[in-house]
Amino acid sequence: MATTRIMPLHVGKGRTVDRAISAIIDYVENSAKTDGGQLITSFACNSRLVDAEFLYAKQRYIRNTGRTRGKDDVIAYHLRQAFVPGEITPEEANRLGQELAKRFTKENHAYIVCTHVDRKHIHNHIIWNAVSLDCDRKFRNFWGSSKAVRKLSDTICIENGYSIVENPKEHSGKSYDQWLGDQKKPSHRELLRMTIDQAMEQKPKSFDDLLAMLHDAGYEVKPEKNPSFRGEGQKRFVRMDTLGEDYTKEALIAVLNGEKKHMPRRQSVQATVQKPNLLIDIQQKLQQGKGAGYERWAKVFNLKQMAQSMNYLQEHGLMEMDALVQKSDEAVERYHELAKQIRTIEDRMDEISALRGHILTYIKTRDVYAAYCKAGYSKKFYIEHESDILRHKAAKKAFDELGLQKLPTIKRLQDEYARLFEEKKKALPEYRKARDEMRELLTVKANVESILRLDEHDHGKKHVRE
Cβ–Cβ < 8 Å for 187, 268: yes
- Whether the pLDDT of residue 18 is over 80: the answer is no
- Whether the pLDDT of residue 371 is over 50: the answer is yes
Cβ–Cβ < 8 Å for 142, 93: no
Strand pairing category for 111-116 and 2-3: unpaired
* Closest alpha carbon to 85 in 152, 2, 190: 2
pLDDT tens digits for range 271-311: 334 556 666 676 776 777 777 777 777 777 778 778 888 88
- Whether the pLDDT of residue 52 is over 60: the answer is yes
Q: Buried b / exposed e across 178-198, counting CB within 10 Å, b at 16+?
A: ebbeeeeebebbbbbbbbbbe
* Closest alpha carbon to 104 in 84, 127, 122, 70: 127
User: What 3-state DSSP class applies to 51?
Assistant: helix
Most confident of 152-161, 165-174, 186-195, 253-262: 253-262
- pLDDT grade, residue 14 (50/70/90)? low
Cβ–Cβ < 8 Å for 192, 211: no
* Percent of the chain scoring above 90 in pLDDT: 13
Quick one: pLDDT at residue 438? 87
Quick one: pLDDT at residue 186? 64
* pLDDT mean over 394-423: 86
Longest dimension (CA), the chain: 98
- Whether the pLDDT of residue 72 is over 70: the answer is no
Between 278 and 146, residue with greater pLDDT: 146
- As a whole number of angstroms, the distance between CA 291 and CA 285 comes to 9
* pLDDT mean over 135-141: 87
Residue 143: half-sphere exposure toward Cβ, Cα within 13 Å: 0
Quick one: pLDDT at residue 104? 92
Quick one: pLDDT at residue 274? 53
Quick one: pLDDT at residue 460? 53
Q: 140 has which bridge partners? A: none
- Whether the pLDDT of residue 455 is over 70: the answer is no
Task: Please tell me whether the overall predicted TM-score, pTM, comes out greater than 0.85 for this model.
Answer: no
Dihedral pair phi/psi, residue 385, rounded to 5°: -125, 30
pLDDT tens digits for range 100-113: 999 999 889 999 99
Q: Buried b / exposed e across 340-368, counting CB within 10 Å, b at 16+?
A: eeeeebeeebeebeebeebbebbeebeeb
User: What 3-state DSSP class applies to 320?
Assistant: coil
Quick one: pLDDT at residue 30? 83
Average pLDDT, the chain: 80
- pLDDT grade, residue 41 (50/70/90)? very high
Between 300 and 441, residue with greater pLDDT: 441
- Whether the pLDDT of residue 125 is over 90: the answer is yes
